[in-house]
Protein backbone atom coordinates (compact mmCIF):
# COMPACT_ATOMS: atom_id res chain seq x y z
CA UNK A 1 0.00 0.00 0.00
CA UNK A 2 2.93 2.35 0.55
CA UNK A 3 3.66 2.22 -3.18
CA UNK A 4 0.03 3.10 -3.93
CA UNK A 5 -0.01 6.24 -1.80
CA UNK A 6 3.46 7.31 -2.87
CA UNK A 7 2.50 7.01 -6.54
CA UNK A 8 -0.73 8.89 -5.82
CA UNK A 9 1.17 11.72 -4.13
CA UNK A 10 3.60 12.09 -7.05
CA UNK A 11 0.89 12.02 -9.73
CA UNK A 12 -1.24 14.46 -7.70
CA UNK A 13 1.67 16.91 -7.46
CA UNK A 14 2.36 16.64 -11.21
CA UNK A 15 -1.33 17.17 -12.03
CA UNK A 16 -1.56 20.18 -9.69
CA UNK A 17 1.47 21.97 -11.17
CA UNK A 18 0.48 21.25 -14.77
CA UNK A 19 -2.99 22.61 -13.98
CA UNK A 20 -1.42 25.64 -12.29
CA UNK A 21 0.23 26.44 -15.64
CA UNK A 22 -3.12 26.08 -17.43
CA UNK A 23 -4.87 28.47 -15.04
CA UNK A 24 -2.06 31.04 -14.89
CA UNK A 25 -2.62 32.86 -18.24
CA UNK A 26 -6.24 33.84 -17.42
CA UNK A 27 -5.07 35.26 -14.09
CA UNK A 28 -2.22 37.16 -15.77
CA UNK A 29 -4.40 38.45 -18.61
CA UNK A 30 -5.85 41.66 -17.08
CA UNK A 31 -2.34 43.02 -16.40
CA UNK A 32 -0.32 41.29 -19.12
CA UNK A 33 -2.83 42.17 -21.83
CA UNK A 34 -2.07 45.88 -21.52
CA UNK A 35 1.65 45.28 -22.13
CA UNK A 36 1.05 42.82 -24.93
CA UNK A 37 -1.38 45.23 -26.56
CA UNK A 38 -4.43 42.99 -26.65
CA UNK A 39 -7.68 42.83 -24.69
CA UNK A 40 -7.71 40.60 -21.63
CA UNK A 41 -10.46 38.56 -23.29
CA UNK A 42 -7.91 37.47 -25.90
CA UNK A 43 -6.67 34.96 -23.32
CA UNK A 44 -9.50 32.79 -24.64
CA UNK A 45 -7.47 32.29 -27.80
CA UNK A 46 -4.49 31.11 -25.75
CA UNK A 47 -6.73 28.72 -23.80
CA UNK A 48 -8.15 27.31 -27.04
CA UNK A 49 -4.64 26.80 -28.44
CA UNK A 50 -3.61 25.00 -25.26
CA UNK A 51 -6.46 22.51 -25.48
CA UNK A 52 -6.20 22.01 -29.24
CA UNK A 53 -2.52 21.12 -28.76
CA UNK A 54 -3.42 18.97 -25.75
CA UNK A 55 -5.87 17.00 -27.88
CA UNK A 56 -3.18 15.85 -30.29
CA UNK A 57 -0.62 15.34 -27.52
CA UNK A 58 -3.05 13.12 -25.61
CA UNK A 59 -3.74 11.08 -28.74
CA UNK A 60 -0.03 10.44 -29.29
CA UNK A 61 0.80 9.87 -25.62
CA UNK A 62 0.15 6.11 -25.56
CA UNK A 63 3.02 5.29 -27.90
CA UNK A 64 5.36 7.83 -26.29
CA UNK A 65 4.63 6.50 -22.80
CA UNK A 66 5.13 2.96 -24.03
CA UNK A 67 8.55 3.87 -25.38
CA UNK A 68 9.95 6.12 -22.65
CA UNK A 69 7.89 5.22 -19.56
CA UNK A 70 5.15 7.20 -17.77
CA UNK A 71 7.43 8.91 -15.25
CA UNK A 72 9.88 10.10 -17.90
CA UNK A 73 6.98 11.43 -19.96
CA UNK A 74 5.62 13.17 -16.84
CA UNK A 75 8.98 14.90 -16.41
CA UNK A 76 8.96 15.94 -20.07
CA UNK A 77 5.41 17.26 -19.63
CA UNK A 78 6.51 19.45 -16.73
CA UNK A 79 9.47 20.80 -18.73
CA UNK A 80 7.24 21.63 -21.71
CA UNK A 81 4.70 23.37 -19.46
CA UNK A 82 7.55 25.33 -17.86
CA UNK A 83 8.93 26.34 -21.25
CA UNK A 84 5.55 27.36 -22.60
CA UNK A 85 4.62 29.63 -19.69
CA UNK A 86 8.13 31.12 -19.69
CA UNK A 87 7.80 31.97 -23.38
CA UNK A 88 4.77 34.11 -22.57
CA UNK A 89 7.05 36.47 -20.64
CA UNK A 90 8.18 37.77 -24.06
CA UNK A 91 4.96 39.85 -24.17
CA UNK A 92 4.85 39.13 -27.91
CA UNK A 93 1.43 37.95 -29.07
CA UNK A 94 2.86 35.45 -31.59
CA UNK A 95 5.31 33.97 -29.08
CA UNK A 96 2.53 33.75 -26.51
CA UNK A 97 0.58 31.69 -29.05
CA UNK A 98 3.59 29.40 -29.53
CA UNK A 99 3.91 29.16 -25.75
CA UNK A 100 0.27 28.11 -25.49
CA UNK A 101 0.84 25.33 -28.03
CA UNK A 102 3.91 24.15 -26.09
CA UNK A 103 1.93 24.12 -22.84
CA UNK A 104 -0.68 21.96 -24.57
CA UNK A 105 1.97 19.50 -25.74
CA UNK A 106 3.04 19.18 -22.11
CA UNK A 107 -0.43 19.03 -20.60
CA UNK A 108 -1.84 16.41 -22.95
CA UNK A 109 0.23 13.43 -21.69
CA UNK A 110 -0.06 14.28 -17.96
CA UNK A 111 -3.23 12.30 -17.27
CA UNK A 112 -2.42 9.30 -19.52
CA UNK A 113 0.98 9.04 -17.78
CA UNK A 114 -0.58 9.09 -14.34
CA UNK A 115 -3.17 6.52 -15.43
CA UNK A 116 -0.36 4.22 -16.58
CA UNK A 117 1.40 4.63 -13.22
CA UNK A 118 -1.70 4.13 -11.07
CA UNK A 119 -3.48 1.44 -13.13
CA UNK A 120 -0.74 -1.09 -12.31
CA UNK A 121 -0.46 -0.19 -8.62
CA UNK A 122 -3.93 0.57 -7.30
CA UNK A 123 -6.11 -2.40 -6.23
CA UNK A 124 -9.60 -2.55 -7.79
CA UNK A 125 -11.37 -1.71 -4.53
CA UNK A 126 -9.53 1.64 -4.32
CA UNK A 127 -9.23 2.54 -7.98
CA UNK A 128 -12.04 5.09 -8.34
CA UNK A 129 -11.08 6.79 -5.06
CA UNK A 130 -7.39 7.05 -5.93
CA UNK A 131 -8.01 8.29 -9.46
CA UNK A 132 -10.50 10.83 -8.09
CA UNK A 133 -8.03 11.95 -5.43
CA UNK A 134 -5.37 12.45 -8.08
CA UNK A 135 -7.76 14.46 -10.22
CA UNK A 136 -8.29 16.95 -7.40
CA UNK A 137 -4.96 18.27 -8.67
CA UNK A 138 -6.89 20.16 -11.38
CA UNK A 139 -8.98 22.40 -9.08
CA UNK A 140 -6.06 22.53 -6.62
CA UNK A 141 -3.92 23.96 -9.40
CA UNK A 142 -6.66 26.48 -10.11
CA UNK A 143 -6.88 27.42 -6.44
CA UNK A 144 -3.09 27.93 -6.26
CA UNK A 145 -3.24 30.10 -9.37
CA UNK A 146 -6.02 32.20 -7.87
CA UNK A 147 -4.20 32.67 -4.58
CA UNK A 148 -0.51 32.84 -5.58
CA UNK A 149 -0.38 34.53 -8.98
CA UNK A 150 -2.21 37.77 -8.01
CA UNK A 151 0.01 38.16 -4.95
CA UNK A 152 3.17 37.67 -7.02
CA UNK A 153 1.91 40.06 -9.70
CA UNK A 154 1.22 42.72 -7.09
CA UNK A 155 4.62 42.45 -5.44
CA UNK A 156 6.95 41.39 -8.28
CA UNK A 157 5.11 41.89 -11.57
CA UNK A 158 3.33 39.55 -13.95
CA UNK A 159 6.48 38.33 -15.69
CA UNK A 160 8.03 37.19 -12.41
CA UNK A 161 4.76 35.46 -11.50
CA UNK A 162 4.88 33.52 -14.78
CA UNK A 163 8.54 32.60 -14.30
CA UNK A 164 7.84 31.44 -10.74
CA UNK A 165 5.25 29.02 -12.12
CA UNK A 166 7.81 27.81 -14.67
CA UNK A 167 10.44 27.31 -11.96
CA UNK A 168 8.05 25.22 -9.85
CA UNK A 169 7.47 22.82 -12.75
CA UNK A 170 11.20 22.44 -13.39
CA UNK A 171 11.85 21.88 -9.69
CA UNK A 172 9.28 19.07 -9.52
CA UNK A 173 10.66 17.44 -12.68
CA UNK A 174 14.08 17.33 -11.00
CA UNK A 175 12.69 16.26 -7.63
CA UNK A 176 11.01 13.10 -8.99
CA UNK A 177 14.09 11.95 -10.91
CA UNK A 178 15.31 9.55 -8.15
CA UNK A 179 12.11 7.49 -8.57
CA UNK A 180 12.00 7.60 -12.35
CA UNK A 181 13.77 4.31 -13.01
CA UNK A 182 11.85 2.36 -10.37
CA UNK A 183 8.48 3.55 -11.66
CA UNK A 184 9.21 3.16 -15.36
CA UNK A 185 10.93 -0.21 -14.89
CA UNK A 186 7.83 -1.45 -13.11
CA UNK A 187 5.47 -0.35 -15.90
CA UNK A 188 5.74 -3.50 -17.95
CA UNK A 189 2.24 -4.84 -18.29
CA UNK A 190 1.54 -6.68 -21.56
CA UNK A 191 1.64 -4.37 -24.58
CA UNK A 192 2.49 -1.32 -22.46
CA UNK A 193 5.52 -0.61 -24.63
CA UNK A 194 3.65 -1.05 -27.90
CA UNK A 195 4.03 1.87 -30.32
CA UNK A 196 0.52 2.98 -31.07
CA UNK A 197 0.17 5.59 -33.79
CA UNK A 198 -2.46 8.31 -34.03
CA UNK A 199 -4.90 6.25 -36.08
CA UNK A 200 -4.44 3.09 -34.01
CA UNK A 201 -4.95 5.02 -30.77
CA UNK A 202 -8.26 6.49 -31.91
CA UNK A 203 -9.32 3.13 -33.30
CA UNK A 204 -8.66 1.59 -29.88
CA UNK A 205 -11.42 3.76 -28.38
CA UNK A 206 -13.82 4.06 -31.31
CA UNK A 207 -13.95 0.30 -31.91
CA UNK A 208 -14.55 -0.49 -28.23
CA UNK A 209 -18.20 0.26 -27.43
CA UNK A 210 -17.79 1.04 -23.75
CA UNK A 211 -14.66 3.13 -24.27
CA UNK A 212 -16.42 5.00 -27.06
CA UNK A 213 -19.41 5.74 -24.85
CA UNK A 214 -17.13 6.94 -22.05
CA UNK A 215 -15.24 9.21 -24.43
CA UNK A 216 -18.41 10.78 -25.86
CA UNK A 217 -19.77 11.33 -22.35
CA UNK A 218 -16.53 13.04 -21.36
CA UNK A 219 -16.78 15.34 -24.40
CA UNK A 220 -20.08 16.76 -23.14
CA UNK A 221 -19.20 16.65 -19.42
CA UNK A 222 -15.90 18.49 -19.90
CA UNK A 223 -17.65 21.09 -22.04
CA UNK A 224 -20.22 21.58 -19.29
CA UNK A 225 -17.42 21.97 -16.74
CA UNK A 226 -15.68 24.61 -18.85
CA UNK A 227 -18.93 26.50 -19.46
CA UNK A 228 -19.47 26.64 -15.71
CA UNK A 229 -16.02 28.11 -15.14
CA UNK A 230 -16.13 30.46 -18.12
CA UNK A 231 -19.65 31.91 -18.04
CA UNK A 232 -21.16 31.58 -14.56
CA UNK A 233 -19.68 34.81 -13.16
CA UNK A 234 -20.43 36.81 -16.33
CA UNK A 235 -24.02 35.54 -16.40
CA UNK A 236 -24.66 36.32 -12.74
CA UNK A 237 -23.06 39.76 -13.00
CA UNK A 238 -24.33 40.98 -16.37
CA UNK A 239 -27.77 39.37 -16.56
CA UNK A 240 -28.86 38.66 -12.98
CA UNK A 241 -27.35 41.75 -11.38
CA UNK A 242 -24.96 40.21 -8.87
CA UNK A 243 -21.89 42.15 -7.76
CA UNK A 244 -18.55 40.79 -8.91
CA UNK A 245 -17.75 39.63 -5.39
CA UNK A 246 -21.02 37.74 -4.97
CA UNK A 247 -20.81 36.18 -8.42
CA UNK A 248 -17.22 35.11 -7.76
CA UNK A 249 -18.25 33.61 -4.43
CA UNK A 250 -20.92 31.52 -6.17
CA UNK A 251 -18.32 30.17 -8.60
CA UNK A 252 -15.86 29.52 -5.76
CA UNK A 253 -18.52 27.50 -3.93
CA UNK A 254 -19.08 25.43 -7.07
CA UNK A 255 -15.35 24.74 -7.48
CA UNK A 256 -14.81 23.85 -3.82
CA UNK A 257 -17.74 21.46 -4.00
CA UNK A 258 -16.17 20.00 -7.14
CA UNK A 259 -12.97 19.22 -5.25
CA UNK A 260 -14.94 17.47 -2.51
CA UNK A 261 -17.12 15.77 -5.10
CA UNK A 262 -14.14 14.22 -6.87
CA UNK A 263 -13.19 12.43 -3.68
CA UNK A 264 -16.71 11.55 -2.55
CA UNK A 265 -17.77 10.14 -5.93
CA UNK A 266 -14.61 8.04 -5.99
CA UNK A 267 -15.59 6.43 -2.69
CA UNK A 268 -19.17 5.94 -3.87
CA UNK A 269 -17.98 4.26 -7.10
CA UNK A 270 -15.69 1.91 -5.18
CA UNK A 271 -18.27 0.88 -2.59
CA UNK A 272 -21.88 1.38 -3.61
CA UNK A 273 -22.66 2.39 -7.20
CA UNK A 274 -21.00 1.01 -10.30
CA UNK A 275 -18.86 3.68 -12.00
CA UNK A 276 -20.78 3.65 -15.27
CA UNK A 277 -24.13 4.08 -13.53
CA UNK A 278 -22.71 6.79 -11.29
CA UNK A 279 -21.36 8.70 -14.30
CA UNK A 280 -24.82 8.49 -15.88
CA UNK A 281 -26.43 9.87 -12.74
CA UNK A 282 -23.87 12.67 -12.52
CA UNK A 283 -24.52 13.61 -16.14
CA UNK A 284 -28.25 13.86 -15.50
CA UNK A 285 -27.69 15.81 -12.26
CA UNK A 286 -25.37 18.38 -13.89
CA UNK A 287 -27.99 18.82 -16.61
CA UNK A 288 -30.69 19.58 -14.06
CA UNK A 289 -28.33 22.03 -12.35
CA UNK A 290 -27.67 23.78 -15.69
CA UNK A 291 -31.42 24.01 -16.31
CA UNK A 292 -31.80 25.55 -12.84
CA UNK A 293 -29.05 28.08 -13.58
CA UNK A 294 -30.91 29.03 -16.76
CA UNK A 295 -33.93 29.86 -14.60
CA UNK A 296 -32.09 32.13 -12.12
CA UNK A 297 -33.45 35.67 -11.90
CA UNK A 298 -32.73 38.65 -9.67
CA UNK A 299 -35.65 37.60 -7.44
CA UNK A 300 -33.94 34.37 -6.38
CA UNK A 301 -32.63 34.28 -2.78
CA UNK A 302 -28.83 34.21 -2.62
CA UNK A 303 -28.95 30.99 -0.59
CA UNK A 304 -30.86 29.23 -3.38
CA UNK A 305 -28.35 30.38 -6.00
CA UNK A 306 -25.54 28.99 -3.83
CA UNK A 307 -27.44 25.71 -3.45
CA UNK A 308 -27.75 25.37 -7.22
CA UNK A 309 -24.04 26.18 -7.66
CA UNK A 310 -23.11 23.50 -5.13
CA UNK A 311 -25.01 20.84 -7.12
CA UNK A 312 -23.60 22.21 -10.37
CA UNK A 313 -20.00 22.14 -9.14
CA UNK A 314 -20.28 18.83 -7.33
CA UNK A 315 -21.40 17.11 -10.53
CA UNK A 316 -19.91 19.09 -13.44
CA UNK A 317 -16.49 19.33 -11.75
CA UNK A 318 -16.59 16.14 -9.69
CA UNK A 319 -16.96 13.42 -12.35
CA UNK A 320 -13.40 13.21 -13.73
CA UNK A 321 -11.76 10.73 -11.38
CA UNK A 322 -14.51 8.14 -11.66
CA UNK A 323 -14.36 8.48 -15.44
CA UNK A 324 -10.59 7.98 -15.65
CA UNK A 325 -10.71 5.00 -13.31
CA UNK A 326 -13.43 3.40 -15.44
CA UNK A 327 -11.46 3.99 -18.67
CA UNK A 328 -8.38 2.38 -17.09
CA UNK A 329 -10.50 -0.56 -15.89
CA UNK A 330 -12.17 -1.37 -19.20
CA UNK A 331 -9.12 -0.68 -21.41
CA UNK A 332 -7.46 -3.74 -22.99
CA UNK A 333 -4.61 -5.13 -20.85
CA UNK A 334 -1.52 -2.94 -20.93
CA UNK A 335 -3.22 -0.15 -22.87
CA UNK A 336 -4.53 2.08 -20.07
CA UNK A 337 -2.32 4.99 -21.17
CA UNK A 338 -3.32 4.76 -24.84
CA UNK A 339 -7.03 4.42 -23.99
CA UNK A 340 -6.84 7.33 -21.56
CA UNK A 341 -5.01 9.48 -24.11
CA UNK A 342 -7.55 8.85 -26.87
CA UNK A 343 -10.45 9.38 -24.47
CA UNK A 344 -8.91 12.63 -23.25
CA UNK A 345 -8.60 13.83 -26.83
CA UNK A 346 -12.40 13.74 -26.90
CA UNK A 347 -12.48 15.40 -23.48
CA UNK A 348 -10.28 18.29 -24.62
CA UNK A 349 -12.31 18.66 -27.80
CA UNK A 350 -15.34 19.23 -25.60
CA UNK A 351 -13.42 21.83 -23.61
CA UNK A 352 -12.89 23.80 -26.84
CA UNK A 353 -16.11 23.09 -28.74
CA UNK A 354 -18.86 23.49 -26.16
CA UNK A 355 -17.78 26.91 -24.81
CA UNK A 356 -17.60 28.08 -28.44
CA UNK A 357 -21.11 26.72 -28.96
CA UNK A 358 -22.23 28.46 -25.76
CA UNK A 359 -20.72 31.76 -26.92
CA UNK A 360 -22.35 31.43 -30.35
CA UNK A 361 -25.77 30.83 -28.80
CA UNK A 362 -25.39 33.89 -26.57
CA UNK A 363 -24.15 35.94 -29.52
CA UNK A 364 -27.05 35.07 -31.80
CA UNK A 365 -29.89 34.80 -29.25
CA UNK A 366 -28.69 37.16 -26.54
CA UNK A 367 -29.71 34.57 -23.95
CA UNK A 368 -27.45 32.84 -21.44
CA UNK A 369 -30.45 30.80 -20.31
CA UNK A 370 -30.79 29.20 -23.76
CA UNK A 371 -27.04 28.47 -23.81
CA UNK A 372 -27.05 26.79 -20.38
CA UNK A 373 -30.11 24.77 -21.37
CA UNK A 374 -28.49 23.67 -24.65
CA UNK A 375 -25.35 22.41 -22.94
CA UNK A 376 -27.53 20.75 -20.30
CA UNK A 377 -29.45 18.93 -23.02
CA UNK A 378 -26.19 17.43 -24.35
CA UNK A 379 -25.06 16.13 -20.96
CA UNK A 380 -28.57 14.81 -20.27
CA UNK A 381 -28.39 12.89 -23.56
CA UNK A 382 -25.07 11.25 -22.81
CA UNK A 383 -25.82 10.65 -19.14
CA UNK A 384 -29.15 9.00 -19.99
CA UNK A 385 -27.44 6.69 -22.50
CA UNK A 386 -24.98 5.53 -19.85
CA UNK A 387 -27.92 4.62 -17.61
CA UNK A 388 -29.95 2.97 -20.35
CA UNK A 389 -27.06 0.89 -21.68
CA UNK A 390 -25.70 -0.35 -18.35
Q: Tens of pLDDT along 212-246? A: 999 999 999 999 998 888 788 888 988 999 987 88
**241 shares a domain with 144:** no
Helix (H) or strand (E) holding 104: helix 93-107
Number of separate domains in the chain: 2
Q: Are 324 and 111 a contacting pair, CB within 8 Å?
A: yes
Average pLDDT for 318-331: 93
How many percent of the chain have pLDDT more than 90? 59
Q: How far is CA 255 from CA 205, 250, 279, 314, in A?
A: 30, 9, 18, 8
**8 shares a domain with 146:** yes
CATH at residue 107? 1.20.1250.20
Start-to-end C-alpha separation, the chain: 32
**312 shares a domain with 169:** no
95's CB contacts (< 8 A; 6+ apart) are 87, 88
Q: Tens of pLDDT along 100-136? A: 999 999 999 999 999 899 988 889 889 999 999 999 9
Q: Are 321 and 128 a contacting pair, CB within 8 Å?
A: yes
* Range(s) of the domain holding residue 33: 1-176
**133 shares a domain with 49:** yes
Average pLDDT for 265-279: 96
**378 shares a domain with 246:** yes
Instruction: Kindly state whether residue 333 falls inside one of the protein's structural domains.
Output: yes
**302 shares a domain with 166:** no
Q: Please say if the pLDDT value at position 187 is more than 70.
A: no
**237 shares a domain with 130:** no
Rounded CA-CA distance 57/154 in Å is 34
Amino acid sequence: MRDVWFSTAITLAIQALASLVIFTPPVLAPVAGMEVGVAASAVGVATALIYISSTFAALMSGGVIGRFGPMRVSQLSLILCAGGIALMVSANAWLIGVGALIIGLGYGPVTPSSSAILAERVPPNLRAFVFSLKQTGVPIGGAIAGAMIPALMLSLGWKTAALATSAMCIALAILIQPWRHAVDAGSRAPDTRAKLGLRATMQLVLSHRRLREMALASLTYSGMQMCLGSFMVVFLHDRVGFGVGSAGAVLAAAMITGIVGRIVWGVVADRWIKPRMLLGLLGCAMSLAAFAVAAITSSWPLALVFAVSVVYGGTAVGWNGVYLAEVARIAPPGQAAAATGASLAMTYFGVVALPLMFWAIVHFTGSYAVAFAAVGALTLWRGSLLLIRV
